[in-house]
Amino acid sequence: MLLRRRLWLAVVVAGFLFLILTSQVLQKRCFLLIYLVQSNGGVSPTRKDPVVEPTVPLAETTPVLERTPNPPSAEETDTIKEPLDDSQYLRLCSCFDSCISEPGGSIWFDKRYDPKQQPILQETKNNFDRDSLRWWLGLQRSGNDQNLEKVMTKMFQVISPPTENIAPLRSRCRRCAVVGNSGNLWNSGYGKRIDAYDFVIRMNKAVTRGFENDVGHRTTHHFLYPESAVDVEEGVSLVLLPFKLKDLEWLTSALSTGEVNMTYMRVKERVKADKDKVLVVNPVFFKYVHDNWTEHNGRYPSTGMLAIIFALHICDQVSVFGFGADKQGNWHHYWEKNLYAGAFRKTGVHNADVENDVIRQLNKEGKIALYL
Annotated active-site residue 222? The verdict is: no
Please list, in sequence order, all residues whose beta carbon lies within 8 angstroms of the beta carbon of residue 326, skipping any fewer than 6 positions away. Answer: 182, 183, 184, 186, 332, 339
Among candidate residues 222, 290, 332, 350, the one labeled active-site is: 350
Q: In terms of Cα–Cα distance, which of 349, 350, 344, 361 is closest to 183? A: 344
Question: Rounded to an integer, what is the distance from CA 152 to the centroid of its chain?
Answer: 31
Please list, in sequence order, all residues whose beta carbon lies within 8 angstroms of the beta carbon of residue 243, skipping any fewer than 6 positions away. Answer: 139, 140, 225, 286, 300
Q: How long is the chain?
A: 372
Angle between helical axes of 148-155 and 245-254 (0-180°, round to 10): 20
Annotated active-site residue 264? The verdict is: no
Asked if 368 and 308 touch (Cβ cutoff 8 Å), the reply is yes
Buried residues in 155-174 as b, exposed as e (16+ CB within 10 A): bbeebeebeeeeebeeeebb
CB atoms within 10 A of CB 72: 11
The H-or-E segment that residue 201 falls in is strand 199-203
In DSSP notation, 37-65 reads HHHTT---TT--PPPPPPP-PPPP----P
CB atoms within 10 A of CB 239: 25
Asked if 225 and 362 touch (Cβ cutoff 8 Å), the reply is no
CA distance 178 to 307: 7
CA distance 179 to 311: 11
Among candidate residues 113, 225, 288, 300, the one labeled active-site is: 300
List the catalytic residues: 300, 350
